[in-house]
Structure 1
Amino acid sequence: MLITDYVYYFINEIGIKTKSFQDFCVILVIFYILFKIIFNYNIINRVMPSYSYNGIIFKTDKLKDGINMKEFITKNIPEFKENSWSIMNPFLFNGHLQTMFAGIRTFRNVDVLYFTRQIRFANDGGCVSLDQVVSKNQFDNFNKNDLIIPKNQPKEIDEFIRYMTKEEIKIQENGSNDSKAIVLALTGLSGSSAESYIRCLYNKLNKNLNFDLYVMNSRGCGNTNLTTPKLFCALWTEDVRCLVNFFKEKYPNRKIYLFGISLGSIVMSNYLSQEGENSNISLAIALASIWDLRGSSYFLENGFISSLFYSTAMTFPLMMLLKSHSNELLQNPIFKSQYKNNIIRKIWKLKKFDDIFTSKMFGFTCADDYYTQASPIYKVSKIKTPYINLSSLDDPITGGLQVGALPLDQAKYNPFMTMINTSLGGHVAYFKWNNTRWYAEPLSKLIVNFHEKLVSQDGYHIEIDEKHLPKQVLVDGHLPVPLNSKI
């Protein structure tokens, strides 16, 4: 029997009736194309988690023996289990297509959420805007005369964002002793609360009344005017620190969860490594994290597609930020010396931008110096907060294992770390066959279950196997020299 006879039999068995040989040939071609897509192009996203050797144990009064992160994920989040799989959009069969689709398509009317905004100031006088998810009813029903529009901030923000009213600010300042949870998202480069990669997760979490959802818009981003002549960088953690302290002051009984995306995940990791055991964070989740800025920069600047498209696409909104905030930034003598036509017209790549502006404005000598100091990969051992890292191995911006951009081996020796790696997904994309983002559902399950089944339970605490923790090798940056050693 010929292969065409088998196909003909299969087609008729599944209920597709062929009236002529021409119909049969058309269907045969369609099946051939589908088989080629499935077998020649990888559309199956596989999950490959990596757990620490001696992971922390979560205990409650109900869980006397405790549970580690691997057991918790296996039991509660099947999408993150070893060898679990899902089907991605067959037309977005690699990281480049996934990433480009995320950047090109508008998701304005998908996962629509409404926010109220307040301006929060750091100790240096700089400000960020803090957007909180509210119901449409609360968003619509207010007196315009009661809106508090901060000085020097734009009156109009966005059709889905408004400033808080006097009453809302009063409620915020009075605080609360309730035990609801707070989720704070740190956006990607020049991002804001309008980003669809945040809204897809928050739209699911918003169905749970026990969560208050916030987004921190970095300085100058999301229609936030600067109040000091300085933007942001991956090592600037003071704004996150001020917000965490603000939440702990106003809501002492609430647990705080951090969700960092791309650049936001670097800021988050740096904050956690700086604070150690005093982070006040119950769980940190990183999506499309950049651990080694130098490795990722090399990957981004030297890949043909990455250099041609991504680096330029990421640089353009940064240049627009400089232009829109130039009046304030020109008060900075370093910025003023660099912001000249003969210099800025040559900036088309991200590393060039960081070399001329970001590094200099924050006191670094050059982009490489800034990248080295800001890379969390050198500080993995200092993170003392339960941490879930979700990365796609085909991410064309952060780079995968080929440039050593993921600290898989290091993370195994930090009991707080869990690395969830996927074969597909691109950079903050993960589009399934119906163009919904795959990570939204499992991450929402992770946060809700972690809060309800562990953190909010009586007697919750973490136990660490101190005996098997790796010892720090360096002393003040040096290898110790044994006294009276003999060769």
Structure 2
Amino acid sequence: MPSYPYHQVRFMNSKLKGSINMEEFINENIPEFRAKAWSMVNPFLFNGHLQTMFAGIRRFRNVDVLYFARQIMYADDGGCVALDRVVSKKTFDGVDTSKIVVPENQPEEIDNFIRYMSPKEIADQGSTDSNAIVIALTGLSGSSAESYIRCLFSKLSENPDFDLYVMNSRGCGNVKITTPRLFCALWTEDIRGVIKFFKKKYPNRKIYLFGISLGSIVMSNYLAQEGENSNVTLAIALASIWDLRGSSYFLENGFISSLFYSTAMTFPLMMLLKSHSDELLVNPIFKSQYTNQIIRKIWKLKKFDDIFTSKMFGFTCADDYYTQASPIYKVQQIRTPFVNISSLDDPITGGLQVGALPLDQAKYNPYMTMINTSLGGHVGYFKWNNTRWYAEPLARLITGFHENIVSPSGYEVQVDEKNLPKPVLINGQLPVLHKSK
């Protein structure tokens, strides 16, 4: 972890003797995340490219098996996402499927490990208990089936104090879209709506967010937009892409990155467009772009974002979209305790090679804690036995934070107001200190 010139926020409760900040909490409880800690990785996956490729090629379907009950959530614009809640196999199998009502326009069959919530399960929501809610925001075109989520949730599911959810973005995870557009890194309305839903149903519960890759960008943008009103107790980002322009340059110009990753990330997006083309063609902008002549030329992620993502959300081009959606320019607006885990050899985010990590900015925001590893790739982190390194310590961090800091009565977050970053610009300009006569 980098050193901080200013004190981090401090946490107090009736159980602690005095107060503690995140860096102290990690040093006392999570040795894997301490500065200069080391771990044994798979010796055959000795760099970021190998770690990343292994994560994409290896099948983990029978590892960390979880069962989910799905609820379709509708946003104000009519679009929908799927909230998949982790349930026990007994609960999964204990529902009479003939009584389950399939949401309108959604597929009857989802996955062998996912079913829709029963009417009773939906009606029974709403509680005043102290269980924490953990929401995972997936990577690009990801879903609750992703092994990088299941490895963490399988450990957290052993603790009855947590209710675990995965938010499947529009069109992902067998979710049929209901409006003529998908998602982007700056579209925060869906996670905002989900958090409002939970705060209404469970006003006394704490909410933890876990964002991975694209999901961490959406999470960071949401937290920056909401400031002190995020209703999130702790946010954790893994393999976050802080600077989309820097990442794009690294992704499109690196030999291996350009040849493999950019194409591999674009293919499932093109499949999403194809599977939802009937709904998307209602959008005149999409209709004008979705022609055989154009789509045959799309093999790289930036080209996809230039032609589809940016235009769908009103940006002029991919660079315009990347600039506006990059959380690196909004770090100082985050007012939620935030732990970021990044690998410096991540071939997709770009790491230090293109200055894509906000290391200096984070030092001046007392809410931020940066954990940087030398190896791990993009959502890899495979140890010698091919389990993911971050799953166990991250589960202990969330559990320990909830049980020892948040749960006891009198929980407080203290911050020295003098050390909070102050906005310099006024209406996008530097202030005039004096006028010449």
Normalising to structure 1: TM-score of the pair? 0.89
Contact 1:131/1:216, CA 8 A, preserved across alignment: yes
Aligned to 1:91: 44
Q: What residue number does 1:454 align with?
A: 405
Contact 2:339 2:370 in 1 (8 A): yes
Higher gyration radius (CA):
1
Indicate yes or no: 2:76 matched with 1:123. yes
Residue 205 of structure 2 is aligned with which of 254, 269, 279?
Answer: 254
Counterpart CA distance in 2 for 1:483 and 1:63 is 49
Whether 1:77 aligns to 2:66 is no
C-alpha distance in 2 between matches for 1:342 and 1:94:
38
Contact 1:52 1:417 in 2 (8 A): no
- Alpha-carbon distance, 1:228 to partner: 0.3
User: Please, which of 56, 80, 87 is the counterpart of residue 103 of structure 1?
Assistant: 56
Say which is worse superposed, 472-481 or 229-238, in terms of deviation. Answer: 472-481
Offset, 1:470: 3.2
Q: Does the residue aligned with 1:268 lie in a helix, a strand or coil?
A: helix
1:171 aligns with 2:171: no
The within-5 A match list for 1:186-335 is 186-335=137-286
CA–CA separation in structure 2 for the residues paired with 1:472 and 1:169: 44
Whether the 8 Å CA contact 1:259–1:265 is kept in 2: the answer is: yes
Inter-CA distance 188–52: structure 2 relative to 1 (3 Å threshold)? farther
Task: Using structure 2 for the length normalisation, give the TM-score.
Answer: 0.99
Match of 1:362 in 2: 313
8 Å contact kept, 1:51–1:70: no
Q: Which residue of 2 aligns with 1:162?
A: 115
Tell me the alpha carbon deviations over residues 36-67 of structure 1, each in whole angstroms, 9 at most, x when there is no partner: xxxxxxxxxxxx45546221010112335211
Contact 2:83 2:168 in 1 (8 A): yes
Q: State the alpha-carbon separation in 2 of the partners of residues 378 and 211 from structure 1.
A: 33
Deviations 1:200-252 (A, max 9, x none): 00000000000000000000000000000010000000000000000000001
Q: Aligned partners of 1:58 and 1:452: how far apart in 2?
A: 13
- Provide the rounded CA distance (Å) in 2 between the counterparts of 1:182 and 1:485: 57
Between the aligned partners of 1:140 and 1:61, the Cα distance in structure 2 is: 42
Residue aligned with 1:87, SS: coil
Unaligned runs of 5+ in 1: 1-47
Which amino acid in the other structure matches residue 283 of structure 2? N
Partner AA of 1:366 in structure 2? C
Q: Which amino acid aligns with 1:471?
A: K
Does structure 1 residue 62 correspond to structure 2 residue 15?
yes
The alignment status of 1:340 with 2:311, answered yes or no, reads no
How many residue pairs match? The answer is 437
Q: Which moved more, 1:96-105 or 1:58-67?
A: 58-67
Shift of 1:142: 1.4
Report if the CA contact (8 A) 2:207-2:233 is conserved: yes
* More divergent stretch after superposition (303-312 vs 77-86): 77-86
Deviations 1:99-127 (A, max 9, x none): 00000010000000000001000000000
Shift of 1:469: 2.7
1:434 to 371, 385, 391: 385
Helix, strand or coil at the partner of 1:189 = coil
Match of 1:402 among 330, 338, 353: 353
- The alignment status of 1:414 with 2:379, answered yes or no, reads no
Indicate how the Cα distance of structure 1 residues 50 and 132 shifts in structure 2: closer, same or farther if over 3 A, else same: farther
Secondary structure (helix, strand or coil) at the match of 1:229 reads coil
Structure 2: segments with no counterpart, 5+ residues: none
CA distance in 2, matches of 1:64, 1:95: 42
CA contact (8 A) 2:136 2:165 kept: yes
C-alpha distance in structure 2 between counterparts of 1:344 and 1:406, whole Å: 33
Q: Is the 8 A contact 2:6 2:419 kept in 1?
A: no
Q: Distance in 2 between matches of 1:470 and 1:129?
A: 36
Give SS of 2:124's match.
helix
Contact 1:51 / 1:418 at 8 angstroms: preserved in 2?
no
Instruction: State the one-letter code of the partner of 2:406.
Output: V
**In 2, are the aligned partners of 1:297 and 1:351 still within 8 Å (CA)?**
yes
Name the CA shift for 1:367/1:332 in 2 (closer, same or farther; >3 Å): same
4+ long deviations beyond 4 Å: 48-52
Q: Alignment partner of 2:39: what SS?
A: strand
**For 2:23 and 2:30, how far apart are their aligned partners in 1?**
10
Give the partner amino acid of 2:18: D
Of all paired residues, the percent bearing the same amino acid is 77
Aligned to 1:27: none
**Which letter does structure 2 place at the counterpart of 1:111?**
D
What is the RMSD of the two structures over their aligned residues, measured on CA atoms? 1.0
- Counterpart pick for 1:478 among 400, 425, 429: 429
Which residue does the alignment assign to 1:4?
none
Contact kept? 1:176, 1:250, Cα under 8 Å: yes
C-alpha contact 1:50 1:418 (8 A) present in aligned 2:
no
CA contact (8 A) 1:107 1:196 kept: yes
Alpha-carbon distance in 1 for matches of 2:339, 2:418:
23
Deviation at 1:356, TM superposition (A): 0.1
